Structure 1
Amino acid sequence: MKKPLILVTNDDGITAPGLRTLVRLMKTLGDVIVVAPDSPQSGMGHAITLDSTLYSKKMATDTEETGNEEYSCSGTPADCVKLALQELLDRKPDICVSGINHGSNSSINVIYSGTMSAAIEAGIEGIPAIGFSLCDYNWDADFSHSDSFITQIVTEALANGIPKGVVLNVNIPKLEKKQLKGIKICRQARANWKEKFDKRTSPMGKDYYWLTGKFELLDKGEDTDEWALANGYISVVPTQFDLTAHHVIQELNSWGL
């Protein structure tokens, strides 16, 4: 049987250690093609390139030795997936995996995440997709404790499929392997960012701002991604991109609009 084709992307850029780890793991499961940003694109959400030129470059890798092709893209994570599906791949991938992100994409962070937006873009096109994140922002983060869990999750997704309209948001706590308790299927915790701007003045007298903030967890439930991560579990949240609040439709119909 033909090996599954696995599309790998991310938002930290094609040279990021997290992506290199994911490529190494996916090569044990199938044929791999990488299409990732040529520079960091964290926090880009689902932005796409509309008013400037998009470039792609095939990276100098030995396909026979590495078993995969790699392309850098000048655009956003969502651009990478669009370009891969429309121009660079000769067949539809069996799954798209995004990451491993350097930093958490749990709870409300999923809204801003380029990692998850790449996975969502694949999901929109009917491709099973998973975003992986490690709760460690260090560029030299140790991803090794998550290897077997990531392989297990992708293997199960390939075997069982992921329901249409759903992508998986996987977050891995910053722990040693012996401290990891396993995997929990969770809901997204209610939380937000208490944001502020650090206002400064340039040498030329112009005001500029740095966005800062504090994460506020508003959810005490023990079935959430934040609870799982705080208690030594890898969280898996089934995330949908249909943003319709279906439970409110009946109420709005009572308005007499």
Structure 2
Amino acid sequence: MKKPLILVTNDDSIVAPGIRFLISVMKEIGEVIVVAPDSPQSAMGHAITINNTLHIDKVNLDNEIEHEYSCSGTPVDCVKMAVHEILKRKPDLCVSGVNHGSNSSINVIYSGTMSAAVEAGIEGIPAIGFSHLDYGWSTDFEPIRDYVKEITMAVLQNGLPDGVVLNVNFPKTDEKSIQGIKICRQAKATWVEKFDKRTNPQGKEYFWLTGEFVNQDKGEDTDEWALKNSYVSVVPVQFDLTAHHAIQKLNSWDL
């Protein structure tokens, strides 16, 4: 059987340990092409480049991969460039990550990792965003290898519903401590944010965004519950943002 064509991208940059690990897993499954940012693009959301030029450079970070490119743009730019400029045919799958840090709950809105997956979904490509709760650059990803492969193979074999991509998060734990995989809903949570105001040596004020993540959801069917209890969380995410349940209510207004 012909090997599936798998597009690999991320938001932490093409040299990040997370994407290098993900590439190593995907090479066991199919033909791999890599298009990823040339510098960190965390929390870029679904941003695209329209007021600056875009550049792509062929790189050779893995001798076993013929097509590997760094892109000057955002994660979404990477997917667009791959689909419309680099690839000769649409890939069978797009995987994004593995992100250094969680993209559970409300974080999916800000995530460059997940936005790359969503962009692939918009293009009609089955897509998965992978994230790990450990932010460290020296994270050991090996304990999650079998889970990444299992979820990837399941998507290739079964496909995904139209308009849906997967948001997969791994708990900060070792393989023996992982309790399994949970299909979840996104927890209702938010960031209580503040700005740390400082002054530079020239007397000009500047700010660092800080905050505390607050989970307001007590349900045991959420991604936050799963991760807290050492499960891999899998949330199906849709990019149709219509609040369908509100249409009837709005139609009752005198508009």
TM superposition score normalised by structure 1:
0.98
Return the alpha-carbon distance in structure 2 between the equivalents of residues 98 and 120 of structure 1: 10
Q: Output one character per residue of 1:17-64: Cα deviation in whole Å (capped at 9) or x when no partner.
A: 0000000000000000000000000000000000001000000356xx
Q: Output aligned runs, 1:131-150, within 5 Å.
A: 131-150=129-148
Q: Equivalent residue for 1:28?
A: 28
Q: Equivalent residue for 1:181?
A: 179
Return the alpha-carbon distance in structure 2 between the equivalents of residues 238 and 254 of structure 1: 31
The residue type paired with residue 2 of structure 1 is K
Return the alpha-carbon distance in structure 2 between the equivalents of residues 120 and 177 of structure 1: 28
Aligned with 2:169 (options 163, 168, 171): 171
Asked if structure 2 preserves the Cα contact closer than 8 Å seen for 1:3 and 1:30, the reply is yes
Q: Output aligned runs, 1:28-107, within 5 Å.
A: 28-61=28-61, 65-107=63-105
Cα RMSD between the aligned structures?
0.8
The residue type paired with residue 11 of structure 1 is D
Return the alpha-carbon distance in structure 1 between the equivalents of residues 65 and 204 of structure 2: 51
Return the alpha-carbon distance in structure 1 between the equivalents of residues 13 and 185 of structure 2: 28
Q: Equivalent residue for 1:236?
A: 234
DSSP-derived class of the 1:127 partner = coil
Return the alpha-carbon distance in structure 1 between the equivalents of residues 177 and 61 of structure 2: 36
Task: Report the CA distance shift for 1:207/1:67 in structure 2 as closer, same or farther (over 3 A).
Answer: closer
Asked if structure 2 preserves the Cα contact closer than 8 Å seen for 1:103 and 1:137, the reply is yes
Return the alpha-carbon distance in structure 2 between the equivalents of residues 53 and 203 of structure 1: 34
Return the alpha-carbon distance in structure 1 between the equivalents of residues 125 and 19 of structure 2: 19
Task: Report the CA distance shift for 1:198/1:254 in structure 2 as closer, same or farther (over 3 A).
Answer: same
TM superposition score normalised by structure 2:
0.99
Asked if structure 2 preserves the Cα contact closer than 8 Å seen for 1:11 and 1:37, the reply is yes
The residue type paired with residue 22 of structure 1 is L
Q: Equivalent residue for 1:226?
A: 224
The residue type paired with residue 60 of structure 2 is A
Q: Output one character per residue of 1:213-249: Cα deviation in whole Å (capped at 9) or x when no partner.
A: 0000000000000000000100000000100000000
The residue type paired with residue 236 of structure 2 is P
Return the alpha-carbon distance in structure 2 between the equivalents of residues 14 and 153 of structure 1: 22
Aligned residues: 255
The residue type paired with residue 41 of structure 1 is Q
1:91 CA drift (Å): 1.1
The residue type paired with residue 176 of structure 2 is K
Q: Output aligned runs, 1:139-218, within 5 Å.
A: 139-218=137-216
Asked if structure 2 preserves the Cα contact closer than 8 Å seen for 1:191 and 1:216, the reply is yes
1:205 CA drift (Å): 1.3
Return the alpha-carbon distance in structure 1 between the equivalents of residues 110 and 38 of structure 2: 19
The residue type paired with residue 225 of structure 2 is W
Q: Output one character per residue of 1:88-147: Cα deviation in whole Å (capped at 9) or x when no partner.
A: 111110000000000000000000000000000000000000000000100111111100
User: Identity percentage over the alignment?
Assistant: 69
Asked if structure 2 preserves the Cα contact closer than 8 Å seen for 1:198 and 1:209, the reply is yes
Return the alpha-carbon distance in structure 1 between the equivalents of residues 214 and 23 of structure 2: 34
Asked if structure 2 preserves the Cα contact closer than 8 Å seen for 1:98 and 1:131, the reply is yes
1:208 CA drift (Å): 0.5
DSSP-derived class of the 1:66 partner = coil
Unaligned runs of 5+ in 1: none
